[in-house]
Structure 1
Amino acid sequence: MLYRLNYLWRVFATGLSFTTFGLGGLCLSLFVFPVIKVFNPDPDIRKRKARFLIHRSWRFFISFMQSLGIFTFDLETARQQLQEVEGKVIIANHPTLIDVVALISLIPKADCVVKQGLWNNFFLKRVVRVADFINNDQDVNKLIENCKKSLEEGYNLVIFPEGTRTVPNQPIKLQRGAANIAVRCQQNLLPVIIDCNPTTLTKQEKWYQIPSRRAQFSMRVIEEIDVTPFINNDKNESIAARRLTEHIKTVFTEELSKNETY
C-alpha cells in the first residue's frame, strides 16, 4: 500500500512540476521580463539580467522537484566546478528532458544553442527570445558568428552534441554541431557527464511513465578536451570537426561506462 501511494504521489508530483515549470515561464514572460525591458533599455544588460533570472529560476525548480520526492539530485560538486567558469563551450550527454534545466541551474553565465521547437513553444518561446539564446535553425556562418560573440562576452555555451535525448541502452549518436563550433571558434570543450538512474523522462516515455523508485540524477565535470591537435592536424575544418566528434563520442562512451560501475 505504501509503495502504491508513493508511486501515485510521484506521478502527481511530476505533473505538478511540469505545470509549475510551464506557468513559471509564462509568468516570467508576461510580468517580469517586460519590467526588465522597461528599466534596462540596453539590450546587453537586459540579456544578462534575463539569463541570470532564468538561472536562478531553474535552480529553484530543481530544488522544487527534489522537495516533491521525484528526484534525488547530486549536483553540488558540479556546481562548484561550473559557477566561476566563463567563455567555455560546455557539452553534455542528454539522457532526460530536464538536462538543460539542471545544467543551466548550475551556470550563472549561461547561453544555449536551442532547437527551433522551443522558439515556437507557447510557454518558453518568450523566455528563449528575451534571453537571446542561439537558435540552431539558421545559416551555419551566422550560427558560428553568434556563438563566437557569446563566448567573447564571457558566456558559457551549453550544447548537447546528440541533438536530442539519448535512447536508453543504445550507443550514443552525435551530430557535428558542437565540434564545428569548437573548431571554428577555436575553443576547447568542457564535458559534463549526466547520469540518471533509473532512466526517466527519456524521448520514448510520456511524462507520467515514471520509474518504480525515485530517480537519482547526478552530474560530474571531466577533463577539458583540447581542440588544438584536431585543428593543427586537419587544416580542413570539416575533417577536423568529424574527427573531434568521434573523439567526443569515445570520451562520452568511456565515461558513461564508468557510471554503470558506480
Structure 2
Amino acid sequence: MQKLNHLYRILATGLCFVVFGIGAVLLSATVLPLQRLVISDPERRKQRARYIVHQTFRFFISLMHFVRVFNFDFAAASVLKNARGRIIIANHPSLIDVVALIAMTPQADCVVKAQLFRNPFIRGVINSTGYISNSDPDKLLDDCAASLHKGNNLIIFPEGTRSTPGEPLAFQRGAANIALRANRGYLALYIQCQPSTLTKQEQWYQVPNSKPTLAIRYLRDIQLTDELQQSQSPALAARQLTRELQHFYQKAVDQHGLFET
C-alpha cells in the first residue's frame, strides 16, 4: 500500500503540473485578452489580471489539497488578507511558495526573472499582470517603489532563489534595496515544508515518502531604523539591512520546530 500511495502521489503531482501549464495557456489565450476589449484603463486591467491570478492560484492550491499532493497550514492568511502596500518577505524552501503567497494575498505584485517573459506558457499572464522584470536593476527599484505606492503588495524572497536544504541561508541585497528605495518596512513570513520537496535540487517526480505539509506563519513586522533611513551610503545601508534580515531568518530556521505541523 505504501508503494501504491507513493506512485499515486507521483502521478497526482504530474497532473497538477499539467493543469498549471494548461491553465496558464488558457488564461493567456482567452480570459486576459478579453479584458483588453472591456477594460480600457491599463492600470485597472493589471489590477483585474492580478485578481484573476489570485483566484486561479487559490483554485490550484485547493486542487493540490484535493488530490492529496499537499497538506497546507496557512496561519498567515488572516494577516495577508488585510495587507495593503506591504513588502512581504519570506524564506523560500519550495517551488510552490510564490503560488501559495499569491493565493493568500490580494493585489499581489512580484519580481519575475527576465527569462520568464519569454516562457510560452506564462508570458501572457506575466505581461497582463504587470509583474516586474529583474532585467534592469535600477528600473526594478523604481518599479517596485511605484507598485507599493499604488497599494500593491510586493512579494520578495531575499534569497533570490530557493533555499538549499541543510545549508545556511544566503540573502541577496535586492530586498534591502527595494525597502530603502520605497522607504517601507517588511511583513515577515516563515515558510516550512515538511518533509522537504520541490527544492531547487529535485525534479517534480521526486516526491517524498509521506505527504508534505506547507506551513506559512507570520513572524512580525520589521521597520527600517532611523540609522538606515538617514544613511549617506545606500550601498552600506543595504548591506547592513541584508545582514540583519539574514540573521533574523537564520534564527527562525534554526528554531524550525516551532512551526512543525
* Pair in the same fold by TM > 0.5: yes
Query: For residue 193 of structure 1, what is the aligned residue in structure 2?
Result: 190
CA distance in 1, matches of 2:249, 2:115: 26
Question: How many residues are treated as equivalent by the alignment?
Answer: 259
Residues 230 and 218 of structure 1: CA distance in aligned 2, closer, same or farther (over 3 Å) = farther
The question of 1:174 aligning with 2:171 is answered yes
Q: CA deviation at 1:114?
A: 1.1
Query: For residue 101 of structure 1, what is the aligned residue in structure 2?
Result: 99
Is the Cα–Cα contact under 8 Å of residues 55 and 108 in structure 1 kept in the other structure? yes
Give the 4+ runs in structure 1 shifted more than 4 A.
none
Query: For residue 90 of structure 2, what is the aligned residue in structure 1?
Result: 92
Provide the identity percentage. 42
The question of 1:225 aligning with 2:222 is answered yes
Kindly report which structure 2 residues correspond to 1:143-158, keeping only aligned pairs within 5 A, or say none.
143-158=140-155
- Tell me, what secondary structure is at the counterpart of 1:105? helix
Deviations 1:124-156 (A, max 9, x none): 111111000000111x33111111110111000
Q: CA deviation at 1:235?
A: 2.3
Q: CA deviation at 1:184?
A: 1.4
The question of 1:202 aligning with 2:202 is answered no
Residues 230 and 70 of structure 1: CA distance in aligned 2, closer, same or farther (over 3 Å) = farther
Is the Cα–Cα contact under 8 Å of residues 186 and 228 in structure 1 kept in the other structure? no
Is the Cα–Cα contact under 8 Å of residues 111 and 150 in structure 1 kept in the other structure? yes
Is the Cα–Cα contact under 8 Å of residues 55 and 103 in structure 2 kept in the other structure? yes
CA distance in 2, matches of 1:97, 1:120: 19
Structure 1 portions without partners, runs of 5+: none
Equivalent position amino acid for 1:129 in 2:
N
Q: RMSD value over aligned CA atoms?
A: 1.1
- Tell me, what secondary structure is at the counterpart of 1:224? strand
The question of 1:23 aligning with 2:25 is answered no
Query: For residue 211 of structure 1, what is the aligned residue in structure 2?
Result: 208
TM-score (norm 2): 0.97
CA distance in 2, matches of 1:71, 1:115: 26
Is the Cα–Cα contact under 8 Å of residues 25 and 123 in structure 1 kept in the other structure? yes
Query: For residue 109 of structure 2, what is the aligned residue in structure 1?
Result: 111
Q: CA deviation at 1:228?
A: 2.6
- Tell me, what secondary structure is at the counterpart of 2:170? coil
Structure 2 portions without partners, runs of 5+: none
Q: CA deviation at 1:121?
A: 1.5
Deviations 1:207-256 (A, max 9, x none): 00010000011001111111133424632111000000001101111112
Is the Cα–Cα contact under 8 Å of residues 190 and 218 in structure 2 kept in the other structure? yes
Is the Cα–Cα contact under 8 Å of residues 230 and 243 in structure 1 kept in the other structure? no
Equivalent position amino acid for 1:123 in 2:
F
